[in-house]
Every structure is written in C-alpha cells, then in structure tokens.
Structure 1
C-alpha cells in the first residue's frame, strides 16, 4: 500500500498557512479590488517595480506560465512566477528564478505584508466590508517577494476571472488569454459570454494581447469586441500565430510554431498532449511580445534551452511505471477532454483504469461522462479536501454515467483506491494496463505524494 513520502511543512510555514486559511478560503472570493489595491498602495506598489505578463483563461494557465518563465530565464532575465492552486506546499505559489521559494522566504513575505494587511482589515471592517481574503493576501505576498528579490519580470496567473481578480493590481506589459470554458459559474456567470467577459477584463490598451483559439465562438466574439473597444494590439491564434505541425514522441513532441515574429521549426517540447503544444505557443508569443514587442525572433538556441527545462507537475504526468500511473489535475470537462486525447495519442493501454475524485463545486456528472469512453473501469475515491465529494455519493453518479455497476468500484481510502486501480490494470497478467488519476488538483497532489514523486511541484 502506498505511503506518503513528503516531509511535513515546517512549524513557521504551518503557522502562517493556518493564518491565511482563517481568511476567506480560496473557493470563496470577494469580487472587489479595493482591498488589494489599498494594501499595495500602503506598501509602495511593489508590483510596479518590474515588467509583467498576466495570464487568464479556464485551462492551461499554469503550464503557459511555466513555459513563458523558462524562456525568459533562458533569455537572461530574473523571473518571478505566481500560480495557483498549489499541489503540496503553499510556497509553490511563489517562484523566483524558476524555483519555488523556500519556507523562510515565504514566511518573510507574509510578515512583510502583515502590518499593511491588518490596517486594511480594520479599514474594511469599519466600512462594513470583509477582511483581506486568502488569495488577496497571497497575491500581495508574491508581488512583495518579487520586488524584494528583485526580479526583472513577473509571470502572473490569475486566480479566477480577470476583471476583479486580485492579480489585477499589476499593469501588465503582455496579457494572455488561454482557452475559455465553463468553470466557476457561481462567480463568473452561467453563459460562455459572461465568463469570457470576466476573463477579458485582463486586457488593457497598453498591453500587447496574445489570444488562444477559442472552441466556443461566443467567447472569441466577446474578446474581439473588447480588443476593438480598447484598441489593443493582439496576436490571435489561427491568424497571426499558430501550431503548424506536431509529431508525438517519447517523453514529448516535436512542434513547429508560427510566432508573432518568426517561425520555429521542429522544436522539442517535453510535455505530452496537443493542448500543451498550444500552451507553448501562447508562451512563445508572450515572450516575443515582452522581449521585442513582437518584432524580434527568439533565437533557436534560446528557445531550445528554455523549453528543455519545462515541466508541468500534475498535468498528464507519469508518476509510476509497470503499470503506468498518470496523474492529471483536470477538474472540468474541457480539461478532461484534453486528457482523454493525450492518453489516446501517447499510450497504447490495452486496459485503462480511472482513479477519480472530484470536488463538490464541480460538474461531476459531465466530467465522468467525458472520461467514460476512455475507461474500462473506474475506482471512485476522495481526497482529504473537505470539499471532496464523498466516495459513496460520487460512486452513485458514476454508476448512472457508466450504466454498468461492474465497471464502478468504490474506495473512500485513497491508498486503498490506488492499490485497487493498480490491481485492475494488472488483471489477467495484462502488461499494458494503465491508471489515470484525475478529477481535482488535490487528488493529483495526494496521488503524487503517496507514490513518492520527489520532483518539485
């Protein structure tokens, strides 16, 4: 039976993280920039001391951020990166020079923000408002840590939406919008047009925009209208930029990209899946925009150096061999569709077993329906998150979706569920069985942990 391999958080980091969690949790937000703006003002607006790329969208934001940062480091710039959520430690949310900050730096960032956060908490309460939220506080910490480093450029992933997301106190040089789909409807709206309107809130008249191809026509219509309204210069996938060709290979793929400034032939990308090639395209275009205003080609050696270091933990990541266990943080139907396509393209499993745990606010039925054609059987489980759908309830949903009770196994204990999935993959001496663990970031993180994955997230 698998056992956790990672050390516990240090005492100071545990204390700071507990204090952050006492604020509004990450899935509960206050759509208002007044508190974060006030904190940054009191701190002297550290987010204005470096250039920045800001990334919004529904899927692919984190990987796009990691690729862009790697290219910028290869270009000789000192980088900061803030992404969310984290897999194992909150310190992963703040990275400098491509590495998550250590616990001491994370705690120091918290202490640097603390007196100003307490002032804003008091001001907000006096006006009948809420205190600074968890995500707002973390955003302030990241921007302060980048200024203290100091960095040359920050790559910033929005938390949710765009218009009122706390990361929006930065005035970006480049604004990237990744593919938009349905997620967080309780905050962003029930229609794709409403969701796209919130995401398009990151666009400005000053920042050069990089726009992914949108599978939902209504999303692109909203973005185009906003670009025209602002007069924003934009590089749009399918027009100015594109993935021209790709050949899957061992450990990645060879891709030819058309960037804003030039064409990049047969570049090796060490990530699996067509969607990752498109994420890389957005990152390349964003770096062209930042480094040369979209007019200078990135050097072939620079691009190769940057991409060869790219990893995307918890995204179509192989964490065990014999049988193969793949973890993916996909938690919405679009993410699940990308995972299904990636597995079919890169793995020749004769038997595919799902290991699925989903959080309560997600569309569990649709996510399971997207995965069902790929899976011979599914082991339904739950992560340790208090937001996890209990395994017995999720298993009932799965039985309705799979229409065959024999294909659905229920195991609330994640270690036991992993073992059940592995046993099923190896049933009848099948040497080509595989396990696909999917459904939430927390599930991906805990499977990685239990299987002893040592790579930094």
Structure 2
C-alpha cells in the first residue's frame, strides 16, 4: 500500500454527496433516495449480496448493537461473518468488519479499484440528483457488500442507515429481517408519529421472510403486524414469541458491570449469560439478536449458533461509544446517544452503574435532533453541565444555544467549551476523582471526545464541511 493510493481512495469516497454529514432531505419519498441505481450498481458488480445470508437490521435505536451481537455470535461459532454499520467513529474501515477485524487499507484500495468501473457505468446512464452521482452511503454500502463477498462470508449482519423502505441497504434479499425499536427520530424524513416511523422501517420486510421484532408499543407494533401480514412474513415478537430476563449488576459495584441476561425463544433458552453491553436496554437488544439467530437457523440449519458460542461471542464484543468507559478517577463514559429514547436508556444505565456519585455532563448534539427532549432525560442526573460541539461537521448545535436550553429547563448553569478537548478539560477540573464524566448527544461528538481522551493519533483526516 502507498499512502497516496489510500488517501486517494478515501478522498474519492468523501467527495460524494454525504447525507450523514449534511443531513437528510426532508422527504423520504424524494427522488434522491430511490433504489434503482443501487440495484444497477450491484448488478454491475455481479450482485455480491447474493453470496451470503443476510440478517437485515433496522430500528430507531439498538440496531448497531444488535447487528454487532449477531456478527459476534456467528464468528464465535466458526462461521465467517461480516458486519456492516454506520457511521464510523474514527476510520471509514470500521464500517466493514469480517470476523471481528475491520477492513484493511489495502483491502479498501482493492475494493475501490474494483468498484470504480461499475460506478462510472451507472453514473453515465443516470448521474443522479443534480448530476452529483451516487451518494457516499450508496457507494459505501456497495463497497461493504463487495468486501463481504470477496472475503468469503457465509452470513452478514447488515445495519440500515436511516429508515428502511428507501435505505440503500434495502436492495438485499435477507434471510431474516429485524426491527429493534421504534421511537422518535428523523421525523422530518420518516413522519410525525410512531406509526409513520414504523411503516418506513417495516419497509425492509420482504415477502415470506421471517421478521424478528423488539417493538412493544401498541401503535408501531400494530403497523408492523399489518405490513407483515400483507407480505406473509412470519413474525416473532419480543414479549410474545421470545423474552429477555435481565439481572442487573449486584452491589457493591466497584466498577461498571453489564449484568446478565436469560433469553427464552421458541427454539431454546439462552443463558443466563453475561450481557454483552451495559444497560437493561442491551438485554432487550441481546434477546432480539439471539432470536434473529434462531430465525436464521430455522432457514439454514448449517448456520445454527449454540448458546455456548453466543456466550463466547458476547464476551469478546467491544462496541465503542455505547456506554463505553474510557477512563477512571473520575470515571469517563462516552456514549453516542442522539435521540430521546437513547438518552433515556443511557440515563437508566448510569443510574445503575454509577449510583450516588457526583456527575458531570459534556453535551453536544446536531441541529436536527430534539435538544430539549434529550436534556430532559439527562439533566436530573448531573450536577455540572459543559455545553460543547463537535468540530468536523457543520450540523452541530452552538454551545451557547445548548447552555440556554439547559437554563430554560432549570438545569445548572452550563459552562461552555468550543470543542471536545477543552470540554473534557473543564469537566475534569469540575469533577472529583470519585465522580463521573459522561460525554453524549451525538456519535460525532463521541468520536472526537474519544479520540481526545484516548490520545488516538494517525486518524485519516476527513475533509471538513463548511456552511
């Protein structure tokens, strides 16, 4: 590998229209989000997505964690397994994982070289919105599917980017479809009610394909059942067809613990096993992941995962920026919660793992998120608040606007830091060694704070967007 060829490959990808950084168009029905050219691109590549079994995972929260659990259990069972997630924290290659190892720079160069002629052919026939060609997410989705095929994967956990019905991943024919949770996020694109959001996400359900669902609220589950009936999808629901029993960490707690989970499906009992990630919400995600694996085994018995293998995979799972402890004295937790439901889940996890300690919040979020809703979930836990922003993306809310929102909600007077490194410095000075600092509000903020806290260097620079 040469540094120039790697940099050129990254630059070519990052130059594409990137809704992760710019924000999505307001309407999901936009012609910008049609799937036809994605199908054309994959056809030019020989339809790599048909080379392996796919567990296709959508949901408002928990879809990345659930996908990671599915892939970890498959790998621990000896099956070559792929994992596709987004966005990445530090390196683009994090999105494309095979048997727990992310794509190498050499593999990235090779896959991009293989993609290029297909991209050029598709863009010649249809240049896309405003003549700007295939989007960043379309190309990286194809890149991942191609990588998994070339790597000889037998099964892949494929996380939806946003929504479901018109997401670029929704060109695959999965063995199992998964819907983790439904809550409010991306309402401008997906609709104003939980029913609207559920219908968009249920767009990944394919005729006759089993669907595993962690949704329990009446409004969205009724929509999901309707879609499943119309498409003749066998439906497996949390609380009806499978269940999770969570055992929280037992005091005294001298360091964060994940607790344990027993999952009971229509095929077997799993566990009790150590929960793969902290928080009661992760026990529900584990139940959905294990139920998805049982549904996969129903379709293809050669891919059966046994409980001892799932336990081994869960024990080795590391999922950065999900209630991740990256420092002590004081504890430093980084979490990518970026909507109200995930903020509520984070708050519950912090109450369980860090009871009765002084807590400082470092918070920054994006303009299209529910700022007040997230703060309402978090502020009751914290004595100190530092308002900040991520710097590599123009979607960030200004720190002074966050501080004003904190004041309007009756929170403590917020300190203001223009970027995450300074925010961490302020938090460390304000927090005793026995206390807790939590950084949250955005995966973009989590990435920058994590790099600063861990002293990560040699992270390939991503072109900075300006407005």
Please give the TM-score of this superposition, normalised by the length of structure 1: 0.92
Change (3 A) 1:298 1:156: closer
* Ranges in structure 1 where 5+ consecutive residues have no aligned partner: 1-8
Change (3 A) 1:45 1:107: same
Of 265, 270, 273 in structure 2, the residue corresponding to residue 267 of structure 1 is: 273
Q: How many angstroms does 1:130 deviate by?
A: 4.9
Change (3 A) 1:223 1:231: same
CA distance in 1, matches of 2:349, 2:8: 40
CA distance in 1, matches of 2:239, 2:79: 29
- Matched residue SS, 1:55: strand
What is the CA deviation profile of residues 103-136 of structure 1, one whole-angstrom value per residue up to 9, with x for unaligned ones? 1112222221111112212211389765111100
Of 410, 418, 425 in structure 1, the residue corresponding to residue 424 of structure 2 is: 418
Q: Name the structure 1 match of 2:397.
A: 389
- Matched residue SS, 1:19: helix
What is the CA deviation profile of residues 149-180 of structure 1, one whole-angstrom value per residue up to 9, with x for unaligned ones? 11111110000111111111110000000101
Q: Is the contact between residue 73 and residue 305 of structure 2 (CA under 8 Å) also seen in structure 1?
A: no
Instruction: Please tell me whether residue 284 in structure 1 is matched to residue 290 in structure 2.
Output: yes
Q: Is the contact between residue 175 and residue 299 of structure 2 (CA under 8 Å) also seen in structure 1?
A: no
CA distance in 2, matches of 1:402, 1:411: 20
Instruction: Please tell me whether residue 220 in structure 1 is matched to residue 226 in structure 2.
Output: no
1:102-141 counterparts in 2 under 5 A? 102-125=104-127, 130-141=132-143
CA distance in 2, matches of 1:125, 1:297: 43
CA distance in 1, matches of 2:268, 2:84: 28
* Ranges in structure 2 where 5+ consecutive residues have no aligned partner: 26-31, 251-255, 460-467
Q: Name the structure 2 match of 1:3.
A: none
Q: How many angstroms does 1:238 deviate by?
A: 0.4
Instruction: Please tell me whether residue 401 in structure 1 is matched to residue 403 in structure 2.
Output: no
Which shifted more, 232-241 or 23-32?
A: 23-32
CA distance in 2, matches of 1:145, 1:85: 17
Q: How many angstroms does 1:338 deviate by?
A: 0.2
Q: Name the structure 2 match of 1:305.
A: 312
Q: How many angstroms does 1:263 deviate by?
A: 1.2
CA RMSD of aligned residues (A): 2.2
Instruction: Please tell me whether residue 90 in structure 1 is matched to residue 88 in structure 2.
Output: no
Of 143, 146, 156 in structure 2, the residue corresponding to residue 144 of structure 1 is: 146
Q: How many angstroms does 1:303 deviate by?
A: 2.1
Q: Is the contact between residue 248 and residue 280 of structure 2 (CA under 8 Å) also seen in structure 1?
A: no
Q: Is the contact between residue 57 and residue 159 of structure 2 (CA under 8 Å) also seen in structure 1?
A: yes
Change (3 A) 1:36 1:251: same
Which shifted more, 356-365 or 156-165?
A: 356-365
Q: Name the structure 2 match of 1:375.
A: 382
- Matched residue SS, 2:192: coil
What is the CA deviation profile of residues 14-45 of structure 1, one whole-angstrom value per residue up to 9, with x for unaligned ones? 33232222221133362200111110111111
Q: How many angstroms does 1:101 deviate by?
A: 0.7
Instruction: Please tell me whether residue 347 in structure 1 is matched to residue 354 in structure 2.
Output: yes
Please give the TM-score of this superposition, normalised by the length of structure 2: 0.90
Q: Name the structure 2 match of 1:14.
A: 7
CA distance in 2, matches of 1:316, 1:80: 24
Q: Name the structure 2 match of 1:178.
A: 180
Q: Name the structure 2 match of 1:5.
A: none
Q: Is the contact between residue 63 and residue 279 of structure 1 (CA under 8 Å) also seen in structure 2?
A: yes
CA distance in 2, matches of 1:24, 1:126: 10
Change (3 A) 1:454 1:281: farther
Instruction: Count matched residues.
Output: 441
What is the CA deviation profile of residues 77-117 of structure 1, one whole-angstrom value per residue up to 9, with x for unaligned ones? 10111100100011101111111111111222222111111
Q: How many angstroms does 1:12 deviate by?
A: 3.5
1:33-44 counterparts in 2 under 5 A? 33-44=35-46
Q: Is the contact between residue 402 and residue 408 of structure 1 (CA under 8 Å) also seen in structure 2?
A: no
Q: Is the contact between residue 251 and residue 270 of structure 1 (CA under 8 Å) also seen in structure 2?
A: no
What is the CA deviation profile of residues 200-224 of structure 1, one whole-angstrom value per residue up to 9, with x for unaligned ones? 011112321100033x421111101
- Matched residue SS, 1:402: coil
